[in-house]
C-alpha cells in the first residue's frame, strides 16, 4: 500500500481534516491534498512530520519497518454509525501490519444500560480498544452516537474470528465493564487518553479467537445469507431474534426506534 493512501486512510479514520494536519506540518492544505491524491509529492522530511501527527512511524517512510504505526499517545478512531460492526475496516487495516492483536470490548456501566437493552439481553459494547504487536493502543467508537455500537458478545467474537482469518493476524479478546467515569470520557472523546485505556489490558483475561467456524456456526451463516439477513445491522438481527423469541413486544421496539430518531435529530 502506498504511503499517501496510508496517510489519507489514517487521517480519515481519526476524523481529522486536511487543513488541520497541513497546519501542524507547516504546509498548505493544497500540498497535502495533492499528496494524498497522488497529484504531487512531498519531501521525506515533510512526510515524516505528518506521520508523527497521525500516530505513524517516521521510519516507515524509509521502508525500514513493516508496521506503519508508532505512537506514545492513544490512537483514537471515529467511525460512521453502523460501520464498525459491519466490516471492521480500521481493524482490518491495522491487522494487516500486525502479527497479533489483543482486543477488549468495552461494556457500558450498569447504571447506563436502558430497560430495553436489559430486556433484549444485549451486552452493550459501546466501544472497542485494541493493541497491536508493537504496543500501539487504539480506541474505536461511533462518530455521533454510542448507541449504534450495541452488539452481543457472541456476534463480536464471530466477526473478530473473520478478521483474524482474512488478515492472518492472531487475536486475543476480552471484555470489560467500564465505570461511569471512563464511559463519559469516551463519550466526550477529547478527554480520554492512553493512561485511561492502557491499564485495562493488564486487568482482563484474554482468550484466543478460534479461527475455524464450528459446524453449527456454518449452518447459521448459510441460513442468514440465504435469507439475505447479512444486509441487516447486528442490532436489527438481535431485535428480530428477540421478537421471535417473544422477549420484547412490537410496542417496545417502536418506542425504541422513535427515541433513537429523536436523539439523532
Report domain extents, the chain.
1-70, 71-213
Does 236 or 255 have the greater pLDDT score? 255
The pLDDT tens digits for 35-45 are 999 999 999 99
Does 250 or 36 have the greater pLDDT score? 36
Q: pTM of the full predicted structure?
A: 0.74
Instruction: Read off the pLDDT band of 131 (50, 70, 90).
Output: very high
Across the chain, mean pLDDT equals 79
Rounded CA separation 181/169 (Å): 32
User: How much is the pLDDT for 227?
Assistant: 52
User: How much is the pLDDT for 83?
Assistant: 44
Q: Is 103 helix (H, G, I), strand (E, B) or coil?
A: strand
CATH topology for 1-70 is: 434 Repressor (Amino-terminal Domain) (1.10.260)
pLDDT for residue 89 is more than 50: yes
pLDDT for residue 229 is more than 50: no
Domain 71-213 has CATH 3.40.50: no
Instruction: Read off the pLDDT band of 10 (50, 70, 90).
Output: very high
Rounded CA separation 256/117 (Å): 10
Burial class (CB in 10 A: 0-12, 13-18, 19+), 235: buried
Among 48-52, 233-237, 242-246, name the one with the lowest average pLDDT: 233-237
User: How much is the pLDDT for 214?
Assistant: 54
HSE toward the beta carbon, residue 85, CA cutoff 13 A: 29
Rounded CA separation 243/106 (Å): 26
Among 29-43, 75-89, 173-187, 224-238, name the one with the lowest average pLDDT: 224-238
**CA distances, 114 to each of 111, 248, 259 (Å):** 8, 13, 12
User: How much is the pLDDT for 236?
Assistant: 53
User: How much is the pLDDT for 239?
Assistant: 56
Average pLDDT over residues 178-188: 92
- The b-or-e profile of 215-230 (16+ CB within 10 A means b, else e) is eeeeeeeeeeeeeeee
Rounded CA separation 218/111 (Å): 37
- The b-or-e profile of 111-125 (16+ CB within 10 A means b, else e) is ebeeebbeebebbbb
Question: Which of the 8 DSSP states describes residue 261?
Answer: H
Amino acid at each position: 500500500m502506498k504511503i499517501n493512501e496510508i496517510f489519507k486512510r489514517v487521517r480519515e479514520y481519526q476524523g481529522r481534516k486536511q487543513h488541520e494536519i497541513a497546519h501542524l506540518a507547516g504546509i498548505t492544505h493544497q500540498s497535502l491534498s495533492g499528496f494524498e491524491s497522488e497529484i504531487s509529492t512531498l519531501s521525506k522530511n515533510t512526510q515524516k512530520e505528518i506521520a508523527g501527527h497521525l500516530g505513524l512511524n517516521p521510519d516507515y517512510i524509509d521502508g525500514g519497518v513493516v508496521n506503519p504505526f508508532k505512537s506514545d499517545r492513544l490512537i483514537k478512531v471515529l467511525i460512521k454509525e453502523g460501520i464498525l460492526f459491519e466490516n471492521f475496516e480500521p481493524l482490518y487495516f491495522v491487522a494487516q501490519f500486525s502479527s497479533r492483536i489483543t482486543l477488549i470490548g468495552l461494556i457500558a456501566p450498569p447504571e447506563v444500560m436502558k430497560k430495553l437493552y436489559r430486556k433484549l439481553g444485549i451486552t452493550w459494547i459501546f466501544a472497542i480498544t485494541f493493541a497491536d504487536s508493537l504496543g500501539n493502543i487504539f480506541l474505536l467508537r461511533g462518530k455521533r452516537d454510542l448507541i449504534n455500537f450495541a452488539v452481543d458478545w457472541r456476534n463480536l467474537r464471530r466477526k473478530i474470528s473473520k478478521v483474524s482469518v482474512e488478515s492472518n493476524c492472531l487475536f486475543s479478546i476480552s471484555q470489560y465493564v467500564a465505570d461511569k467515569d471512563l464511559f463519559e470520557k469516551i463519550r466526550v472523546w477529547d478527554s480520554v487518553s492512553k493512561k485511561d485505556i492502557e491499564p485495562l489490558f493488564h486487568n482482563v483475561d484474554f482468550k484466543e479467537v478460534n479461527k475455524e467456524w464450528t459446524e453449527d456456526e456454518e449452518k447459521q451463516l448459510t441460513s442468514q445469507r440465504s435469507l439475505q439477513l447479512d444486509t441487516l445491522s447486528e442490532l436489527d438481527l438481535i431485535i428480530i431474534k428477540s421478537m421471535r423469541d417473544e422477549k420484547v413486544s412490537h410496542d417496545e421496539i417502536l418506542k425504541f426506534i422513535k427515541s433513537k430518531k429523536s436523539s439523532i435529530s
